Every structure is written in C-alpha cells, then in structure tokens.
Amino acid sequence: MSKTPTHIAVLTGDIIGSTQMSPEDLERAFDALSASAEVQAEWHGEDLHFTRQRGDGWQVRLARPELALRSALAFRAALRCEGKEFSTFMAVATGPATPIMPGMDLNWASDEAFIESGRRLDQIKSNPLTTQIAHTDIKALGATFVLADHISQSWTPAQAAAILPMLALGNSPNYSKVARALGKSRQAVTKALEGAGYDSIWVALAYIENEEAKDD
C-alpha cells in the first residue's frame, strides 16, 4: 500500500443525551450510524472505517472531502429516522493523511485532520446552542455547514426518512419511488421533503461538491 498522503475529511461525532438513553436505544443509534457508513462507502470509494470512541463518541474517515456535508446530513437523517430524540454532534476537518489498512480502528489515527476534528467537536459541545454540525473552515464552507445544520436540526423522523434516499450520490430516486419504498403517498413525501428544505440543500451540496472537487 502506498504511503503517499491523500487529502481527506475526518468527521468526529458524539451522541447527544447519551447518558439519558437506555442501552438499547444507544445501540440503535450506533447501528443506524454504522449502517449509514456502510452505504456511504460507495460514495467515497472506500470504507469509512466507522469507529466507536469513548462510549458515546464515533468517527469516520472520508476519502472524498467534498462530500463531507452530504455525509454529515446522511448521518443525521439516518439517526433521526430512529426518533426525534436521536441526534449527534458532528465536527469536520480536512487535511492530508496517510492511507490506512482495511479494517483499521481510527483510534490509532494521528494525522492533523483527526486532531483538529476532535478539537472542533469539543468547541461545539461546549456551546451546543450555537450549532451541532460544524466545519473547521471559518469562511464560506463553514458558514454553509452552520446553515445546513440549522435547517436539519428540526427534521422530523418522517422528513428524515424522505430525505435520506435523496442524499444518495448520483441520480436521486424520484418522489414516487421513495413513496413506494416508505409505504407513503407521493403527496406525503413531497410535503416531507419541502419541510426538510430538500431543494435548498440539494443546490448547496451541488455548489460545494463542484467547487471542492475543482480545488482538489
């Protein structure tokens, strides 16, 4: 395996209110996050190395940093599908990192992006009223994360279930297909996506991913 560093994003999370959750609900939360990481592996072209940390913490390694906001929103939606009370802090940092072996535990990773992601997580946890999803960037990208976080914090489980398949990379399924999969009417799915701010989120993701990909 090449040891040449590549540009990645690191997303570090922490389950909100975990001490008030039952052990069963906490496992449900981690199962939902882990399942989402498996789905996202196809987007990034490699395993995200989903790693649980310190009981209620978790971390993933994103091979395509331009997809970091899409990934964060997918994790939020997957978790919110379990119930309105399920949520997590998430902090993102980018930078060069050496490749890692398949199946490697991220607790062993020490590249700067991992350190900065953890530091940013500590910052937002110290002032949770400000934001729950944040990027270390303090320019336009960081601002977009703050606004996307504000929109998605209010997602209901129904809205999360509707928007989750629409976040898939590539051609999003049409509303009718999503409705059939959820056992809902097309009208109900349309209403849920409107309430979730899907159209604005889709445009923001397109702008970010095109711009970040060009920078790489």
Does 103 fall in a domain?
yes
Q: How far apart are CA 14 and CA 56, in angstroms?
A: 6
Chain centroid to Cα 123, Å, comes to: 18
pLDDT (tens digit per residue) in 12-42: 999 999 999 999 999 999 999 999 999 999 9
Does 38 fall in a domain?
yes
For the domain that residue 143 is a member of, what is the CATH number?
3.30.70.270
Does 51 fall in a domain?
yes
Chain mean pLDDT for the chain? 93
When pLDDT is cut at 50, 70 and 90, the band that residue 216 belongs to is low
Domain count, the chain: 1
Residue entry with tokens 């119930």: 83
Q: Which of 156, 159, 151 is nearest to 190 (CA)?
A: 159
By CB atoms closer than 10 A (0-12, 13-18, 19+), residue 76 is buried
Does 1 fall in a domain?
no
Does 124 fall in a domain?
yes
Domain that holds residue 31: 6-215
Does 12 fall in a domain?
yes
Does the predicted TM-score (pTM) go above 0.85?
yes
Handedness of CA 190, 199, 152, 66 (dihedral sign): positive
Does 183 fall in a domain?
yes
Does 107 fall in a domain?
yes
CA-to-CA separations, 89 to 15, 80, 86, in angstroms, rounded: 6, 13, 11
DSSP code for 14: E
Contact 98, 105 (CB under 8 A): no
